[in-house]
Amino acid sequence: MARSVLTIRDLEATPSGSEIVVPRGTIVTDLAREEARNRSITIRFEESESASVEARDSTGSRVVAIGADHGGFDLKEELKTYLTQWGYKVLDVGSFNRDPVDYPDLAESVANAVVRGDAWRGIILDSAGIGSSIAANKVPGARAALCYDRATARNSREHNDANILSLGARLIPAEVAREVVAVWLDTPFAGGRHQRRVDKISAIEARHAKP
């Protein structure tokens, strides 16, 4: 599908100091970025339709996608129980046993579910959480954050609007992981100045997207 392109000509009728909203995934040319910077025009990327609607099941429960490799399997199973008790619908993409698997595959599956709108949020687990967060963030629209305590969980939501939580199952106790997940799911995005920064993250993604 062709992507929209924002050029310097598109900004000619835009007043200086104003804001222009473009579809998510729009490619902004170098000249357009320079023009916007010189005239203090803010370029904001709108949320995709799938991201603006909370994914819910037929009962109205929010859907949380979760996936883990063999290193995170046991913690995934434990967290699934808590998620269900808290009223969430769980979309488990695997793995489904302790046999060795590759974490990028599970991370991509969770990220795809979130970006498509099949899930409201996503949780990925491996032994350290680092690889899964890197892999998930390769999916356009994914904002995966590796968190290890309540403070990082809250910050990733308030400041970064993270839609995927990455956990290192062998680096934090299960009880800490439970608290991290609870805080992360319950913390809203603060918006304001943070929205501008998240928009810039989306702009970086758009600039490096393949045409």
Instruction: Summarize pLDDT for 80-129 with one digit per residue, the tens.
Output: 999 999 999 999 999 999 999 999 999 999 999 999 999 999 999 999 99
User: Averaged over 182-211, what is the pLDDT?
Assistant: 90
Q: Which CATH class is domain 54-186?
A: alpha beta
Distance CA(146)–CA(184), nearest Å, equals 11
User: Averaged over 134-144, what is the pLDDT?
Assistant: 96
Q: According to the model, what pLDDT value does residue 131 have?
A: 98
Q: Residue 49: pLDDT above 50? A: no
Share of the chain above pLDDT 90, in %: 67
Q: According to the model, what pLDDT value does residue 47 have?
A: 55
Q: According to the model, what pLDDT value does residue 163 have?
A: 97
The mean predicted confidence, pLDDT, of the chain is 90
Q: According to the model, what pLDDT value does residue 112 have?
A: 96
Q: Out of 14-23, 51-60, 64-73, 174-183, which region has the weakest mean confidence (pLDDT)? A: 51-60
The SS3 call for residue 183 is helix
Distance CA(64)–CA(40), nearest Å, equals 39
Distance CA(11)–CA(114), nearest Å, equals 32
User: Averaged over 54-80, what is the pLDDT?
Assistant: 93
Q: According to the model, what pLDDT value does residue 5 have?
A: 76
Q: According to the model, what pLDDT value does residue 21 have?
A: 84
Distance CA(172)–CA(177), nearest Å, equals 6
Give residue limits of the domains in the chain.
5-51+191-207, 54-186
Q: Is 159 among the residues known to form the active site?
A: yes
What pTM, to 2 d.p., does this model score?
0.78
Q: According to the model, what pLDDT value does residue 160 have?
A: 97
User: Averaged over 7-34, what is the pLDDT?
Assistant: 82
DSSP 141: T
Distance CA(161)–CA(181), nearest Å, equals 15
